Amino acid sequence: MKIRLMLASLALVLVPSYAGGVDRHVDNPFQVRSEVYARNGMAATSHPLATQVALDVLQQGGSAVDAAIAANAFLGFAEPTGNGIGGDLFALVWDAGESKLHALNASGRAPALATIDAIRAAGHDGPAMPPFGPLPVTVPGTVDGWFELHGRFGTLPIADVLAPAIRYAREGVPVPEQIAWYWERNLPRIGHYPGFADVFTRDGEPYRKGDVFRNPRLADTLQQIAEGGRNAFYRGDIARAIDAYMREQGGLLRYEDFVAHESEWVEPVSTNYRGYDVWQIPPNGQGIAVLQMLNIIERFDVRSMGFGSAAWMHLFAEAKKLAFEDRARFYADPAFSKVPVARLISKEYAAERAALINQRRAARAYEPGVMPEHPDTIYLTVADGEGNMVSLIQSNYRGMGSGMTPGNLGFILQNRGEAFALVPGHPNALEPNKRPFHTIIPAFVTRDGEPWLSFGLMGGAMQPQGHVQILVNLIDFDMNLQQAGDAPRMQHDGSTEPDGVSGMRDGGTLFVESGIDPAVLRRLRAMGHTLDSGTHYGGYQAIMRDAHGNYVGATESRKDGQAAGY
């Protein structure tokens, strides 16, 4: 895999320019495969079999939501390195009948026993939440999210929707190479927690490429959910088993936290970027960082700068720094802290922030804006023949989550509570029943009130940065849907984080994927940017609706995935 990527990267370096290079038989220098076209339905996921599961459900008469849940359930089994029913979920759903976009926040809350004092009493005296083990575990929201989505938009019985995942979990699937790579990477940090090795290792070793992975324990758990509904998870034996396990391991999560859990339908928020309405889910997630960055970038003539230019890459990094300072200061659970969303995503505020950018020099630090006194993941998208579209993202947080694998349930609990701050008074401070700051964000774009694009790009803090780059590639640089995802990406790291501890004072690091002209890199260094290349650049999936009514699909060349339709 690494050799293939190196060769692909070398080929990109050899392309003399964006406008003049030739990639195979078409004039798309950064495109590694064609877009996928279909009329009746489309799915794009990070695993080819998940895409096939989604298409099978569509062809059985299922809705886009049915297919998305089926694919998500399969991925929770086959790609445990990024998601599962121990994690959380967010979704944007375009309802063709209503011509309306709906948003679901299916993230879980901190346990009722979770306080800063309780974390200290458990023996953790660090400045931030522990990343693994029992303490950062929050209520898993995914299963309730499935039933909220299905109850509103599903057409097939939930048992039929979950049947493919149950069957595959019993029979097994071969492990693809990217998932195998992440599996090996996760094992050293969480493989020692009780229950993990029994399900997710072979005699203590990670599953490797081509190994057949089976998880009959998860199949049994999914069967309970298929037969007993969401209460089988939140009010039945599953919740009781997790309660018992967490008590044994010194965790704070209890059966009563499951009983109290519920998802929330929220109003999506948007900004207009050069005629396109870009939609995100408001905090406790980081989606509005996309809107803040786009509002700043819109004030500059990006098209004339050109893709891969020092001017564009500098502007992107500075816009990200500005938005992420606000992200660290203001993004939190709105039930506990006033989040000034309207001000943060306004054009007027963007003008104030954009004025701080020096177009010739990288800033070492920015302060968050002034507000009025009143003030690793999987992504998938599915579209059906009725015109309904789903943008869904689901995660365990850090790859395989907390490492906590209770009883015979066959899944890992998330460690999303790591994102809380252990700083009293901070907007994101740990409090009982509070939702932590979330990185996972689905996206949707409409144009003139009609659906145009359902997409996402997984990968922690890379997500809003990736969203912005995809949109600018499409809108400003006229790339097609696949090319927009294959083009070399960048990621800025080092901004202040919502944990209340870290802060940017040295300008951070701009990570740049191979394929950018070395002269541009030298120019960026001269402008004061610290550059590197060794990071991840996210995972992208997308479905577009074109002017002919076709679905156009694209998938991430950096993952194992597939876009397909019928």
**Which residues are catalytically annotated?**
377
Give the SS3 label for residue 486: helix
392/381 Cα distance (integer angstroms): 6
Output DSSP code: residue 506.
S
Contact yes or no for 395/414 (Cβ under 8 A): yes
Residue 505 CA, distance from chain mean position? 27
What does the alpha-carbon distance between residue 36 and residue 44 come to, in Å, rounded to a whole number?
A: 10
- Beta-bridge partners for 212: 174
Q: Return the structure tokens found at 178.
A: 């990217």
| Angle between helical axes of 518-526 and 310-330 (0-180°, round to 10) | 50
CA angle 453, 458, 460 (to 5 degrees): 135
Specify whether the CB–CB gap between 290 and 441 falls below 8 A: yes
Query: DSSP string spanning 245-262?
Result: HHHHTT----HHHHHH--
Residues β-bridged to residue 205? 202
Secondary element (H or E) of residue 134: none
For residues 236 and 91, what is the distance between their CA atoms, to the nearest angstrom? 26
Instruction: Compute the distance between CA of residue 216 and CA of residue 196 in angstroms, rounded to an integer.
Output: 14
And the tokens for 331?
Answer: 């993004």
Beta-carbon contacts of 234 under 8 Å, excluding residues fewer than 6 positions away, are 143, 144, 258, 259, 261
The whole-angstrom separation of Cα 457 and Cα 538 is 6
Which H/E stretch holds residue 443? strand 443-447
Q: How far apart are CA 45 and CA 28, in angstroms?
A: 23
Cβ–Cβ under 8 Å, residues 117 and 430 = no
Give the whole-angstrom CA distance, residue 119 versus residue 158: 38
Do residues 150 and 68 touch, judged by C-beta distance below 8 A?
no
